[in-house]
Structures are given as C-alpha cells and as structure tokens.
Structure 1
Amino acid sequence: MTTHRTEYAPAVTKALAGLDLDTKVRLLSGQDMWTLPAVPGIGLRSLVMSDGPIGVRGRKWGGGDPSVALPSPTALAATWDPELARRAGHLLAQEARHKGVHVLLAPTVNLHRSPLGGRHFECYAEDPLLTGAIGAGYVRGVQEGGVGATVKHFVGNDAETDRLTVDNRIAPRPLRELYLAPFEYIVKDARPWGIMTAYNQVNGTTMTEHRSLVNEVLRGEWGFDGCNVSDWTAARDTVRALRGGLDVAMPGPRTVFGAPLGAAVRAGEVAESEVDDAVRRVLLLAARTGCLEGVPPAVDPADVPQGIDGRALAREIARRAFVLLRNEPGWDRAGDGARRALPIDAAAVRKVAVIGAAARDARVLGGGSATVFPEWIVSPLEGLRAALPDDVEVTFEIGADPRTRVPHARAGFSLRARYLASDGQLLAETPQFDGQVLTVGDLPDGVTRQNLDAVELTGSFTPQRTGSHTLAVSGTGDLRLTVDGAVLFDERCVPEGGDPFEAFMNPVERRVTTQLTAGEEVAVTLRFVPLDLGLGDGTYAMGFALGHSEPRCDPDAEIEEAVRAAAAADVAIVVVATTEEVESEGFDRTDLRLPGRQDELVTRVAAANPHTVVVVNSGSPVELPWRHQVPAVLLSWFAGQEAGAALADVLLGTHEPGGRLPTTWPARLTDAPVTCVTPTNGQLAYSEGLFIGYRAWQRPGTPAPAFPFGHGLGYTDWAYESLDATPDAVRVRLRNTGKRPGREVVQIYLAPRQDRAGEAVERPARWLAGFAVVEAGPDEAAEVEIPLPDHAFEVWDEATARRRRINGVYTVEAAHSVDDRRLTTEITAS
C-alpha cells in the first residue's frame, strides 16, 4: 500500500496549524548533525538522516555499529541492471530501519564529466540515461522499504575542486540534456521524497538559492513534491535560501534557518506563508516515513521487503559488476594455446602467486560521505585461499605498496574503544573494526561532551612476521601508545594549519617502530585525550587512529621478491589499486596513473610469468600502460565487504563477470575530452557543451580510448541474430553461442542520419537510447524488447526554452559496446 501526497494533506494541514512561528523555523533547521527536532504536541517524532550510498552508517560515525558495505556506485552502474539497483535499495532500507534512520542521503547522480573527478566512485556514469535508470531503481528500492531517498547533488557537482564556491557555467542545452537529465528521469520515474542541493553555483547562483532550477524546473516542470535538503553547511543566506526553494538547512544547531529565519519573518523580509510552504514539505516527509502520528506511512509495513541477506547481495552485486576488460590466451592446460586466461582452472594449477598491497588490504569503499564500517572485509587473498583446493599453494608478496600513510591497524588486531571519565570511570565500550576511532555528530550512549575525558583504543595484536613493525598514531590531542607494557609514543599532537576539517579528516601521522615476534601476542593501548570536540559551528567530531605495517624490505627488494614468486607459480594474480590519497571526496585527481610503482610491478611480473592476471581495484578510470602485456585485466571497482569472495567466484569461473563499463577509460589522460576541473577566477566553464564521455570520443580525429563505454567481456560469446525497430521500440534477438550460461547487456544507440529540412542541429554521432540485460544457456536464444523514449529524439531548444523533437531518418544500432555495434537498421521519426 502506497499513500500519496493528497491523502496526507489534511494531516499535514492540521499539524501545521498546531505550530507557532518559532517551532516552524526550528523544523527547517537540523537540531544536530543528522536529525530534525521532534514536536510531541503535534505527534511529530524526530526525523533521522544518514549517509549512504553503499550502506547506512546511522547517527554514529564509527565501528561500534557495523553496516553492510555494498560495492561502490560505479560498480552498481556497471551491472547496467536497474532491478539489481532496486534490490540494493531494499537492503539499504532494511539497514536503515534497523538503525532508526528515516531518510538516506543517496544516491549521487552527478555525471562523470572528466575522469579527474575525485568523487566519481560515488556517482554512476558518464551517460545521463544509464545514470537515471540505475538511480531510479535504487530510489524505488529504498522507498519501497519505507525509507526516504535524497537524490544528490542538485546540480552540477561534477568535480571537487573549490566545490563550496565554484560557479559552474553551463549552457542551457547541456544543462538540460546532460546534467539535469538524470534528476529529471528519477523524479518522474521513481518519485523521490528528497533532493539535496549542492554547494556549487550554476550560472552565477548558488544551488541552495537557485529559484529557477529548484522552484521552476524541479518543482514546477517535473512535479517534484518532496523535501529539499541542503548539502551540509551549504546554505548561506536566510532569505535567498528560503525563496530559492530550500526546505531544510543542515546540519544544526546553528544554520541560516531556525532563529535567523524567525527574525527575518518578524522583520518583514519574508512572509510566514513562505515558511509554511517549506514546513508542509517537511511534515509530508515525516508522514511518508512514519514520523507523524495519526497517519499511516507511505509504505504499509506488511509490504516492506524483509530478511534480505546483506552478505549474499553484496557478493552478487560485486561479481555482476566486475568488468573483464581483456581476456586473451594465458594459462593453457592442454598446451594448444587456445584457452583464455580466465577463468582459471583450479584443477590445473598447483601454485598461485597473489601480489600487491591491495590483495591483502583491499580498498572496498571510497572515502568521505561514502564511508561505512562493515563488520568484516573479505580481501582478495582471503577469498582465493578459501576458494582454492587445499592442495593448491597460495603465496603472497606485497610487491609495491602505493600507500603514503600507514594503513589502519586491522589484520592480527583485536580492538575495542573505551570511553573514560576524568576519574577513570568507564562510560561506554564499543568494538572496533580497525584502528580508526571516528565519530561525527554523536557519541556512544552514556557519553557526553561534558563527561568524556579520554578514549582508549585497546586490545591485542598477534604479528604474522618477525621483525621491525611500524606503528603510526594520528589525531589532534594527547596520544600515548603502549605496546607490551612499553610506552612507545607520548606526545601532544596539534594540527599543521588553520583548517579544522582538514586537521580532522587528514591529521598528521607520527610513526614509531618496535621489534615483534611472529605468533607472540602483545597488548596494545593507544590513549587519546582530545584537545577539542568539534569542527566549529557547533558540529561535534572526534577522531584518532592507530596504524600498522609489517616489517618491510626496501622497495626494490619487494618488487624482486614478487617477481621471483610469480616466476615460480602457475598463475600470478596482481591486484593494483588507487589509494585514499589520490581518489576520495574533497579533492580531484591530478593524473590517472596508478600511485607508487604499481605499473612497474605489473610489467616485471608479466615478464616473469605469461599467465598473469591483473585486478584493478579503483573507483574510476586509471591508465593501464601495460594492458597489452598481460592476458587478462579485470576491473573490480571498490567491491564492498565481500570483495575477495566475489573475486574468487569470478576468477575461478563459478560465476561470470557481468559488468560493462559505465564510463570510457582513456589510454592516457591527455586523450580525454575534458581534463580541466580547476576554476579560473572562481568559474569553471563547461565549454565542451554536449561532448563529454563517449559523445566526445565518437568525434572524428579523437584518439581511441583504451576501453570504450559499454565494454565488458564474459565467459561466453553472443551472436546478434535480428533487429527490428520502430520509433517506439526495438526488438533484438540474440543467441549464446558459447559452452556455458551467460549474461549480455544489449545496448541500443541512435545515430542521426538525416534531419528534416530546416531542423539541422549539432548532435553527437550517436547516443544511448535504451538497454536491457538478457541471460541464456549454451545455444539458447533470447529476445528482448527495448522501448525508445520520446526524449531520445529531442533536443533542448535554447530559443524557445523547450524540448523540440527532431524528426528524420535515424540508424538504430544494437551493440555490445558503443564501439562494437552488431546490427543496424533505419527508422524514420515523424
């Protein structure tokens, strides 16, 4: 049962009538980091928000309340499967209900305008249709679980450099056809209950004050009836924000709404009726999520999906997202040279060399707002060791560690955080997933700013190797590290620079070393006395960390050891990765190279063993200069908590890698059509217009990418047998010509061949008009019908400020990727 807005109108009107001005304006301002205030007098409970998009962190930012960690949004988009995105939404709604969360701050549907965008792992794709379809599936799933989704960041938050202030100058046509298009698709298809407006400006107006785009386009043209929430600290002006369509300014308690808004009403700067409009939308959100007494929630609890196995779904999404970029002959049991490198035949190998820091310490999620704390992580090394037969020897060498910071203590550690009062009284104790203690906006139950004196990260560590171990401490405050009864570090650590947020998220690291013996457990305690418990402006935050790295030889020797291990193995599996230092929220990338000496490592290992498989653990494109030197390259993205288990499934062939690229991978950064993400005098010109992603790569004279949009190999082959098309729909018949079951993503592109006289307009050579997933067994045929939406034939007419249909002759292409078009036919749009 779904309740619509009109059914809530009487209850919302009644609740609004019971509020005075001060209570109204308080409802439009966060009461803390994640919640809106309760008003018991009208039956309104406190509404709780939480970050996504790969999990639900809840109000507490730390490992004391674990979350399921699904693969990254780029991975979800790589499945090209909106129904799978919907199932992911069901799981996240289940997690949210468990944590008392009513609104999930996701999905992120900004576009991959440039491969340098540092937060692209949290977005879906370079194409607006693919982004919109996956985002709509996600939103439907979350809201079918009775939890509100907040689509973000509206609009133009396509890079991180100066994101708080940048003025993105976007012409009307690309703004409509590219950047607004995913939001429009999701609003019309999935009816989200929330939208988050971005920090940035668009064409001179900050998005929290953008009356034209929020009130006229989002609400007026598209019919969005939900709540508009600011990005955290994005609201800057009381009157302009309210009149620009903003409903809620987050976080609290001090924002431009609340008391300043009440004062603006009393001064006659805004009318109380304008406040009432925003309050109605907040009350509607509360009603939909079950936070307003006397009305049923939008989704009947009996209809909410229940009992979803998060671990199984995380594993399924990961393997269906893995993109097999290359798969040439490699390991050959029969000796005829015909067998492709993947899948690996476990019965034909006796020794497997696993190489790379990310093989043992997998990067399974991005940083910043996308951070959650899973109960466990299955690394590639663990996954392969568990899946391979006992008689197969699996060796590990680090090869080339790309990290510049010591990783958080995890393997071999058993840790908990103890929150202490000044007299030593234990206030709370929480388990720790790793060596990072971090909380933003809330403290464990029983702990307050007033009674907290110190936090102890304490437990035990059992080394796996004998030698000199490196331990690192970081945080702003007094830090004392004790190992096996000896104090190794005891100093006050203060930030370098005046930015409290940077000091909190990236504190200076101090390192010490200690001699430890393999197998001998030692006690470890890091005591932290914070200098401050906030980030300014009333925002509570506290964090510190213990890092650990095993005994290391010099970098040259580590590569040599990896080469020797590879030469002695039947198969070498090298896992390369980006790090949080080069790909995360808050900054853009400066290049697309793998950090450290990882490229050199792959080249050396490939020369030592022709049966080398490379797994690329990144959230967005990286250069792969060695891609033709190895038989197999598999892209795993940030694969979530079950990364290693899913990787073993795919490498050993129990499941097929199902992913297709949602964004083009350039051979070199200099080949990419958009490489500037740095504003000039505060402005960033989107001068490329419509030509981003594959739309630009299809232009004559453009260098070929390393791997095109839509590319991805499976473990079987497909023959496209027939294509029939009308201006309304396309029907494709194809056959699995291989020897095992498979999955294919049928992609439909439209290519304008001839416009009617007088209607000529610049357009890309082709664009994605539809897609569908098909599955079939060996020698089985499958047939799929894919609708062609009206907007596939339309452009935004800047002269009339309306969509305009371009009639004429179009080539319809059924494709495996944008560069691998299998069948074509023509239609005439009229």
Structure 2
Amino acid sequence: MTDPAHASETSAQETVARLGLGEKAALTTGADWWHTAARPEAGVPAVRLSDGPHGLRLQDGADGDHLGINGSAPATCFPPAVTLACTWDSELAGRVGDALARECLAHGVHVLLGPGINIKRSPLCGRNFEYFSEDPLLSGVLGTAWVRGLQARGVGASVKHFAANNQETGRMTVSADIDARTLREVYLPAFRRVVTEARPWTVMCAYNRVNGVHASQNPWLLTDVLRGEWGYEGLVVSDWGAVLDRAAALAAGLDLEMPSSSGTGPARVVAAVGSGELDEKDVDRSAVRVVELARKAAAHARPGAAFDPDAHHDLAREVAARGAVLLRNKDGVLPLDPAAVQRIAVVGEFARTPRYQGEGSSRVTPTRLDDALGAITRSAPAAQVSFAPGFPVDTPDGDVAALREEAVRVAAAADVTVLFLGLPPSYESEGFDREHLELPSSQTELLEAVTAVNPRTIVVLANGGVVRLSGWIDLVPAVLEGWLLGQAGGSATADLLFGRANPSGRLAETIPLRLADTPAHLGWPGENGHAAYGEGLFVGYRSYDAREAEVSFPFGHGLSYTTFAYTDLRVSCDGTGFDVTVTVTNTGERAGHEVVQVYTSAPGSRVTRPVRELRGFAAVRLEPGESRPTTVRVARSDLAHFDTAAGAWLVEGLDHRFDVGASSRDIRLTTTVAVEGDPFAPEPGPDSTLAEWFAHPVGGPALAELLRSVQESVPGGLPQEDSPWHRMMAGLRLGQLAGLPIVPVGPDDVRELVEKVRRAARG
C-alpha cells in the first residue's frame, strides 16, 4: 500500500498508468453522495465535498441530499451572495472565504461547492439569492476574492454553474440560446476572471444546455474555452446528477461525475473504450486530474483544526450591516435615537422569525440565530417596544384580518413603526422560478393599514430577489433593503436602525418599476426547451440605461447617513490599462463607506455597445471631513468587445468615455481618453458591401482608386458622397458592380480588387 503522505513521490500520471481501465473509470465517478472514490493501495485518498456557498452544509450518513431537504451540521450562515455583493468589497468577500475555509478544515471538508457567479438575467430566477449580480465584472471580482480567501487556507472552491445557468425553470434540460458576443461579454467573463486570476481547484458544470449542447458534454465550453483559451488546469466536476452520457462527458472534458452512479458511469466508460467510441487517453486524462485533486486535498487537510464560532458570527454581522441597502430615507427619519424615550412598534413576523437565507442545496443549519425583535429591544433600553406579527409566514393558517387589526392598534399607539416585510420561503428557492415581483397581498394590505395610522413607518425588507416597490414605497419615509442577512442579520438590522452602523450597501442589481420593464421579460422562461436570450448584451442596467427607462432604483444606488463629494478626476494610462483617480470627501458628520464606481463607454463604436458598462470600483471608508484620493484600476482588455468577425477580443481606437459616480444613474465626473486600438479590419470579399469596402484600410483606397479610374466613362459622373444615390449604393455588394450598366467595372476588376486586399493581408 502506498502511503498518501508520500504519494507525491509517484506522479499522478504514473499512478494512473498502473491502474486498469475499470479502476481508472471508477476514479472519475463519485463513491457516494459527497466523496470521490479512493484507491488507498495506490496512494489516492477520497476527497470530501460539501455544499456552500454562504456556509458549510455538511451531511453525513445515508441522509445526504443535494436539495436542502435533510439536516446538516451546525455552521455559520453568512449572508448569501445577494447581500455580500451589495458590499462591493472584495476584501470583505475574501474574509468570508477565509472563514468558510476554517470551518471546512474543522469538519474535514476538502472542497466547498461555491461560489455561484451566474448572471442575474431576470429577477424571477429562483436562485438569484445565490448569485452576485447582473454585472459580470462585479460578480467576477467578488467571486475571485471569495475563492482566493478560501483556497489560501487550503480548501478548494468549485466555481459554479458553468455556464448560463440563469433560470430554474427546466434547469435540467433548457437550452440557453445565446449569440456569441452576448455569451462572451455577459455570461462568461465572471468565470474567466475567477479561473484566470484565482485558479480554483474545481469548476462545476451546469445542468442546462448552452446553444443546444448540455454543459456536461460540451467540448467547446469545457475544453476549447475553459482549457484552451483560459488555460485552466484544475478539475471539472458535474453538478449533482448533471451527467447524461458518461462517455460523452469524459470526451468533452468533464473529469468527475457526482454523485455515485452505482457503477453505471464506469461501466459505460469501459464499454465505450472497448467499442472505440471513447479514447482511453480521455479516461487517463481525467483520472490524473482526480488523483491530483485528491493528493492536494490530503496535503492541505488539518486534522484537529477548529474555528471560533463567535468570531465568525461577528463577521456575519459585519457583512450583513455592510450589505443592507438604504433605499430611501426621507427627512432623515433614520437613524433612530437609541437613547430616546419613545414608543417603537415592531410589526411583521419576520422580525421574530427571521428570513435569513434561501432554500435548496445552500440551506445552512446556523450555529445561532439573531432575531431583529430581540435586537431592537436590547438596542433601545429607554424605549417601550411593542410587537405584532401582522401576517403569517408562508401559510394560509390563522386569521389574517385579526393579525392586521392587532398590528394597526400597536402601530397607532407608537411614535415610530418598524415594519418587517419580505418574501416567504415558498416564493423563491432552488428548483423553481418566481412568478412575479410582488410581496404577498397580506403584507401590502398590512402596510397600507399601518401607514394610515402611523405615517412614520420604516420598512425593512427580507428577500432573495428584488420585489416591486412602486405602488407602495411613497407611503413610507424609509426603506432598508435587507435582502437575506444570514444568522446575525437581526443584530445587524438593529445596528443600522439605531446608527451603530452606517448603511453602505449599494445595489448589485437594478430594481425595476415593474416586471414588464425587465429586459428578458418577453423571452422568459422560453418555450419548447429553449430560452432565447433575445435581449442580447442589454442585461440589467445596460438595458435600462440604454433605453433611458425609469426604474425604482438604479444599479449601484445606496444611501448613507453621511454624504460624499467627488472632485479632481484624473486618468493616467500605461500599456496595460488606466488608473482612474478621484478625490472623495466625506462631507457629512458620520464616518461611512462610499463605493466609487467607474463606468466606460465607446461613443462612435462600429458595433452595438451599451451606453455605460461597469469597469472598476472601490469601497473607501472615510471619517467626517476626510478627503482621500481613490484610484480604480481599469484594465485595457476590459475596454474590448468580442468581435465576431475576428473571433477575438478587440479594443477600438477611439475616444473612450470614463464616468465616475455613485450609481449608473448618478455620474459625478466624466472625462474622455483617446485609446489606441487593436489592428484589425474584417477582410472584405465580393459579397461585402461597398460600405464595408470603403471602411477597410486597404480595400477602401483601392476601391476609390478603381472608381476614379472609370469616373470619366460614366455619363454625368458617379454620385457624390453626400448624395442619396451614393448612400443607396453603399449597400450594394462589390460583386454587383460588375452587373451595373452605369458603372463600367467588370468581373476581372472585382477579382483583382479582392486579390489585392488578400495579398496585403498576407503581408
């Protein structure tokens, strides 16, 4: 038997070479629900994987599942990605990753399944609480920091779900039909950033199909792009149960099938090799990667490791306070004075029974759980705090009218009402999508009744996806979007309400006025097994801003108990990018965080582009009156678009605009920078239009010379450039010139013109 501690003396390739085909095939399929297959005699230990991503969901024994149905060991339930994203703080995301690694090591877990970095295409996606943003840069930066924090302590990440897993409806079979530019510029960049910058131990493939091919057996996705273009060297694992054909998946580049297939997968592989359908080298390649992962996991294991649950609870509280977004604060009704003698009505069952995480495979059993009602009572010792549930949570049981009447009585007798509203667990979960953006009617009716007797009402929301605010938000002076705040969310909410923490969250997704305004609305959720991404590049704020559509709150928005001013914008350039520097000043009376957001655009681009795209950001904390120059790095490559003609990323040579502000709609400073472009022009041919020929650096002058040479032979001459006839001719194919009686250009002239451009392209 080979000692795993000395297994490095035998390379993974040598180990696999000594195994039989059946043994190699067995290595590429899970041994049970949460472990890979071990070969102790060959020095290959088992790898223990576990669900994440906002907390460890560790299951033992026969009750393992991937749906969040059965129980799990207690672990810190951090705020999910929907909340963490609103901190816009990569350092904080890295600290969460570090804490998660400590808990994994203490429980003997080698790989944590996360983070989820899919794009929020529609607010209806039932799993949006697990994803960061509608923007790929924000998702990628935070995902990279999370992975680095986790893996720096020796626990592997499993970045998911690769790729285009943007809905739960038909998630096992639906085809995400996406054009090349949209796929490259919106749905893949977050994965590319995490893969190239953080080098995750594993990447998890999605259930769905991408342009007709299941992700689990998509060689373009798993091999051409992931490995060939991005240089990924880690292991690709399936989502649990995502493999349809184990042989086809292996050939495509999927290394590890999870969970166990009870021998079906390995048998299929052996048969496929025997029939010549599958090359045994594909089996060897994936088996080597499994062995490498197993040995890496064993080398980083820390038997006897422990973590500090109190410290992690405090971190969860910090993240919750940083991630909640103050949407509205009319007349400065917040913060409340914790020392005031006042009557505070706390209304809403969520204050007593917190909604703090989403449903499904990421459901964590918390080490402890704070509720807002208790935290508010402790925070205001001089106040008289009264409570009324107002509505039942997720069940029709009980007399809703009686609950509402009780809440109205309590609110009417109070100086201020804090009303807790949100989405019940049955409204959003892994496995199904939402049907609308509305709060339950029992809650909106309660809000109307409460504000009628106490207009000084503050709303605190608990929801994993955005809810419609239009129609009721004008009834209240303040709204705190709490999203899902994790196990310490109750205390964090009290911190924010009473000013112990200054709200600093900024929206990582747009809150629309109504569902019909959302970019994907007419194509959601698809039909006949296909979801057509007809909105293209215009996802989230890219769509709203391009259409100048009114929204409830724009991407990047968030209020504070202080104010910030921006001055002195400067942009310096080097060969790899731009340093965007702005001086930020805290002009208020409280310390606080500001999130500096840098957007760019390319007016005059030859391709369709959004009017504004996030290219960098920085969270900066300032004391009252403090000023600080803040620099945001924008990589030159981030200015590129994916050119389908070139099949490559290209930066256009033109003036790019840099906008700096506090949201996509709150731009404080703007400047333009002349950027040298990448040398490329699509080679025109006989079927290219005259406009395309004139735009080509070689073809344009050559065509102009040809036309000048025949100018005298045309009665009345050729149309002038500013004439309608000239514009009409711009749409003609070059080959059509040879057939126009008014233009004496023959087929030989066209062939010579095309060949001249080809010779120039060859150099």
Given candidates 78, 86, 89, the residue that maps to 1:78 is 86
**Alignment equivalent of 2:654, drawn from 790, 805, 808:** 808
Matched, 1:666 2:548: no
Q: Give 1:595-614 correspondences, 5 Å limit.
A: 595-614=440-459
1:392 counterpart (365, 378, 383): 383
The CA deviation string for residues 265-319 of structure 1, in whole angstroms up to 9 with x for no partner, is 23332122210100111112112222xxxxx44x999999989821111101000
Matched-pair contact (CA < 8 Å) for 1:71–1:364? yes
* Contact 2:35/2:48, CA 8 A, preserved across alignment: yes
Deviation sequence 1:648-668 (CA, Å, 0-9, x none):
111110111121000000111
Write the distance in 2 (CA, Å) between the matches of 1:9 and 1:623: 60
> Sequence identity, in percent?
43
Question: Is 2:523 the partner of 1:650?
Answer: no
Matched, 1:693 2:695: no
Measure the CA separation in 1 of the matches of 2:482 and 2:585. Answer: 27
Partner of 1:321: 323
1:404 aligns with 2:395: yes
Q: Given the superposition, is the C-alpha separation of residues 302 and 372 from structure 1 closer, same or farther in structure 2, using an over 3 Å criterion?
A: closer
The verdict on how the C-alpha distance between 1:188 and 1:289 changes in structure 2, with shifts beyond 3 A counting, is: same
Alignment-derived partner of residue 16 in structure 1:
16
Residue of 253, 256, 269 corresponding to 1:248 = 256
- Name the CA distance, whole Å, in 1 between partners of 2:29 and 2:341: 61
User: How large is the RMSD of aligned CA atoms in angstroms?
Assistant: 2.0
3-state SS of paired residue (2:552)? coil
Q: Secondary structure at the match of 2:99?
A: helix
- Tell me, what secondary structure is at the counterpart of 2:255? coil
Amino acid at match of 1:558: L
Residue 53 and residue 816 in structure 1: after superposition, are their counterparts in 2 closer, same or farther (change >3 A)?
same
User: Are the structure 2 counterparts of residues 25 and 766 from structure 1 closer, same or farther at C-alpha, using a change threshold of 3 Å?
Assistant: same
CA contact (8 A) 2:54 2:81 kept: yes
What CA distance in whole angstroms lies between the structure 2 residues aligned with 1:604 and 1:792?
50
Q: Secondary structure at the match of 1:604?
A: helix
- Cα distance in 2 between the residues matched to 1:367 and 1:74: 13
SS of structure 2 residue aligned to 1:720: strand
Equivalent position to 2:197, from 189, 202, 217: 189
What is the match of residue 588 of structure 1? 433
Paired amino acid for 1:176: R
State how 1:633-782 maps to structure 2 within 5 Å. 633-675=479-521, 676-700=523-547, 702-727=548-573, 728-755=578-605, 760-782=606-628
How far the C-alpha of 1:8 sits from its partner, in A, is: 6.5
Q: Does 1:129 align with 2:137?
A: yes
Provide the C-alpha distance between the structure 1 equivalents of 2:466 and 2:571, rounded to a whole number of angstroms.
34
Aligned mates of 1:633, 1:29 — CA distance in 2: 49
Identify which range, 794-803 or 174-183, moves more after superposition: 794-803
* Cα deviation digits, residues 776-806 of structure 1 (max 9, x gap): 1110101111111123211111112111111
2:246 to 221, 238, 245: 238
Greater alpha carbon shift after TM alignment, 574-583 vs 306-315: 306-315
In the TM superposition, residue 63 of structure 1 has moved relative to its aligned partner by 4.7
Aligned positions of 1:109-258 closer than 5 A: 109-254=117-262, 257-258=265-266
CA contact (8 A) 2:30 2:257 kept: yes
Q: What pairs with 1:505-544 in structure 2 (closer than 5 Å)? A: none
Q: Is the 8 A contact 2:340 2:383 kept in 1?
A: no
Q: Does structure 1 conserve the Cα–Cα contact (< 8 Å) formed by 2:105 and 2:305?
A: no
Over 3 Å counting, the alpha-carbon distance change for 1:308 and 1:215 in structure 2 is farther
Deviations 1:32-65 (A, max 9, x none): 1111122111222211110001111113365562
Q: CA 1:63–1:682 in 2, change beyond 3 Å: closer, same or farther?
A: closer
Say whether 1:571 aligns with 2:416: yes
Deviation per CA, 1:70-92: give whole Å up to 9, x if none: 00111010000111111100111
In the TM superposition, 1:218-617 aligns within 5 A as: 218-254=226-262, 257-290=265-298, 296-297=299-300, 309-329=311-331, 340-389=332-381, 391-404=382-395, 552=398, 554-617=399-462
Q: CA deviation at 1:736?
A: 0.2
The 1:225/1:706 distance shift into structure 2, 3 A limit, reads same
Aligned match of 2:759: none
The equivalent of 2:478 in structure 1 is 632
Q: Which amino acid aligns with 1:222?
A: W
Contact kept? 1:162, 1:679, Cα under 8 Å: no
Whether contact under 8 Å (1:106, 1:152) holds in the other structure is yes
Secondary structure class of the residue paired with 1:346: coil
TM superposition score normalised by structure 2 = 0.83
Post-superposition shift, 1:362? 0.8
Deviations 1:154-197 (A, max 9, x none): 00110010010001110000000000110001011111110011
Matched, 1:45 2:45: yes
1:787 and 1:308 map into 2 onto residues whose CA distance is: 36
- Give a deviation string over 1:120-143, Cα, whole Å, max 9, x none: 001000000000001001110110
Amino acid paired to 1:748: V
**Shift in CA distance, 29/283, structure 1 to aligned 2, threshold 3 Å:** same
Looking at structure 2, the residues matched to 256 and 83 of structure 1 have their Cα atoms a distance apart, in angstroms, of: 44
CA contact (8 A) 2:54 2:79 kept: yes
3-state secondary structure, aligned to 1:254: coil
Cα pair distance change 1:77/1:301, threshold 3 Å: farther
Equivalent position amino acid for 2:537 in 1: L
The aligned amino acid for 2:390 is G
C-alpha distance in 2 between matches for 1:164 and 1:686: 18
Which deviates more from structure 2 when the two are superposed, residues 305-314 or residues 147-156? Answer: 305-314
> 1:325 offset after TM fit, Å?
0.3
Alignment gaps of 5+ in structure 2: 1-6, 65-69, 677-763
Deviations 1:515-539 (A, max 9, x none): xxxxxxxxxxxxxxxxxxxxxxxxx
Equivalent-residue separation in structure 2 for 1:636 and 1:356 (angstroms)? 14
User: Which residue in 2 is equivalent to 1:103?
Assistant: 111
Moved more, 367-376 or 156-165: 367-376
Q: Please name the residue that 2:28 is paired with.
A: 28
Measure the CA separation in 2 of the matches of 1:819 and 1:601: 32
Give distance in 2, aligned partners of 1:100 and 1:19.
27
More moved, 60-69 vs 763-772: 60-69
Q: 2 CA distance for matches of 1:789 and 1:304? A: 40
Structure 1 distance, partners of 2:125, 2:341, is 41
**Residue deviations 1:622-672 (CA, integer Å, cap 9, x gap):** 011211221110011111001101111111101111210000001111121
In the TM superposition, structure 1's runs of 4+ consecutive aligned residues that sit over 6 Å from their partners are: 299-308
User: Structure 1 pair 733/305, CA: closer, same or farther in 2 (3 Å)?
Assistant: farther
Structure 2: distance between partners of 1:142 and 1:284 = 19
Q: Please state which structure has a larger fraction of its residues in strand.
A: 1
Q: Quick one: distance in 2 between partners of 1:629 and 1:322?
A: 21
Is 1:400–1:596's contact at 8 Å kept on the other side of the alignment? no
Q: Distance in 2 between matches of 1:276 and 1:242?
A: 10
Cα separation, partners in 2 of 1:596 and 1:8, compared to 1, 3 Å: farther
CA distance in 1, matches of 2:513, 2:240: 36
Secondary structure of 2:426's aligned partner: coil
Structure with the higher fraction of residues in helix conformation: 2
Distance 2:426 2:527 in 1: 24
Cα 1:720–1:569 change in 2 (3 A) is same
Write the deviation string for residues 98-152 of structure 1: whole angstroms up to 9, x where unpaired: 1111111111111010111111001000000000001001110110121110000
Instruction: Tell me the equivalent position of 2:58.
Output: 58
TM-score by length of 1: 0.77
Shift of 1:254: 2.6
